[in-house]
Amino acid sequence: MLQPMTGILDDPRIQLRLRFLRYYLSAPVLDVDRTPMVLEVRLLPLWSKVRMAAALVAVAVVAGSAYEMRHNGWADYQEQAPDMFCALVGSLFAWAAITFGAKRQRVVFGPAEVQVTEPGAGTWSEPLNAYRGVAWLYYKSESFYRLFQSGTKSEYVRLANPDVTNYHWIELRHPDRGKSLVLAAGPRETKMRELLELYSKALKQPVVGTRVEDDGGNNFTEPVKAAR
């Protein structure tokens, strides 16, 4: 049973989706005006508030349950216990998913070296000249079903033409994909070309790809060719 699941998770497109699920919670920001330049990947403010709300709900559930059992006893509390338990588990799951799912990273670009710090993974460095250049990449997600609602009824309907969503990012590419760095990411391509040129100039790295579709299996030992 584990082998089929492992095979699914090893699929390049699945790995690509999982990779950028973390960037849905966090956002990379490269400060090119700072010396040395610093790339920060932090939890987005919206998800930070959601995480705080989840923690407060968990605390409120525990405190409320303790108060009810102390003053009214288990006999009166047990009817609402399942609902309180579900609320507690749900809030803890939301807190854990955001806390451990979000990407956190700090990258310092020195004159000749890149130093990367990630919580839980430690710190590593790499010569700047080991990178091949910056590229604007994207992956395409197709959905063949759409949820339709009519009154109290809802159903998924298969579409003749799938809904297509593109996810874009700018990457400082390295032959070892684990050392490639995402400099900008988002569901829209607005300003991607402008950022590509800005980061190329600031990092003194060539542009090795412009709006190139990445299916997760691109050969990272060679620069991608620029799309026409």
Residues 6+ apart with CB under 8 A from 205: 131, 133, 134, 172, 199
Cβ distance 37 to 30 under 8 Å? yes
DSSP E strands: which ranges in the chain?
26-31, 37-43, 105-109, 113-118, 122-127, 133-150, 153-173, 181-186, 207-213
- Determine the Cα–Cα distance for residues 53 and 102; give it in Å rounded to an integer: 16
Q: What is the pTM of this model?
A: 0.75
List per-residue pLDDT tens for the chain, 228 residues long: 444 555 544 555 556 666 667 778 898 999 999 999 999 999 999 999 999 999 999 999 999 999 888 888 877 788 888 899 999 999 999 999 999 888 899 999 999 999 999 988 899 999 999 999 999 998 877 777 777 777 777 777 777 777 777 889 999 999 988 899 999 988 788 899 999 999 999 999 999 999 888 766 554 445 555 544
